[in-house]
Amino acid sequence: LHTARSRNDQVALDIRMYLRDECDAVIGLLRRFAGVLCDQAEGHLETVMPGYTHLQRAQPITFAHHLMAYGQMLLRDIGRIRDAKARMNVLPLGSGALAGTTYPLDRPLVAELLGFDGISANSLDGVSDRDFCVELASALSLVMVHLSRFSEEIVMWCSWEFKFIELDDAFATGSSIMPQKKNPDITELVRGKSGRVFGDLMGLLTMLKGLPLAYNKDMQEDKEAIFDAVDTVKLCISTMIPMIETMKVRPERMRAAAAEGFINATDCADYLVKQGMPFRDAYKITGGLVAYCIDNHKTLETLTLDEYRAASPVFGPDVYDAINLETCVKGRKVPGGPAPEAVAACIAQTRAALAAL
């Protein structure tokens, strides 16, 4: 049974076979998570909320549009893990300890029987390659970046300052002394575990960086790092799926936040541009109106037409429709934009991509 085999090429084989299956498991979880985001997004195609840059209210979007941004991230994650799996699916068995064997092996037949796409072309590389561990750990690290960013937003959205959503009690905990508290602990744990997976990646890179060919005992450190990265990512995704499925969305809070912060100022400037004014001038006039509103405790919606015309005679009664938040969102129907029809198309494309995997 041990003819033409070495522990070196057997271990290289086994870790590839194990990680190949784990890639499928992670992809399956990512597909489920992306599907949940699509489900939630379909229910909030017209739920207006502020879009942010620099964590400052910027322009109106919809909650569906925001969720589908993460949907796109998950699709890329799936693609990266599939690519990593394809490159690891090469049979190292037959490389022996490092120099192959004198026995007449049929390596392509073994590759076919074990479900590999091909055989390693160099026996030294066959036993010492752990690029696939690093590549998978890198892809998993990006998954954790995305989960951590989403977790950070959920933490903010649950706070009283936002209160855009409320998590089910199963995914939050109370305080030991403050009875009013409902802490989003799950998202904080996911956010924290991202550093653990990043550490696994750095451990793999550091372990490999100074190794001469071929096999060295240092390489047994690959197992703990890549196994931990896989297990951590699977745990985090499988926890976030039901959390997002059961969260309560509060559209009225999102709409109220969107009504503050002058996030329709760009649309006000665009209104002037559509009347033939250069954008530079429209920008300056709109900035003046915002400053006037701040000084007089008003919003663009509550300015009178006389106040608008004092800034520019170009303004007409239709300015109020132009700066209406729902109008602002629905007007952005360019592919990839936040208009309900554009987001519905994005959801359909995402579902089609998931079904094709």
Positions marked active-site: 54, 175
Q: Which residues contact 65 (CB under 8 A, 6 or more apart)?
A: 41, 51, 337, 338, 343
Element (H, E) at 253: helix 251-258
- Count Cβ neighbours within 10 Å for each residue of 144-158 and write b for 16 or more, e otherwise: bebbbebbebbbbbb
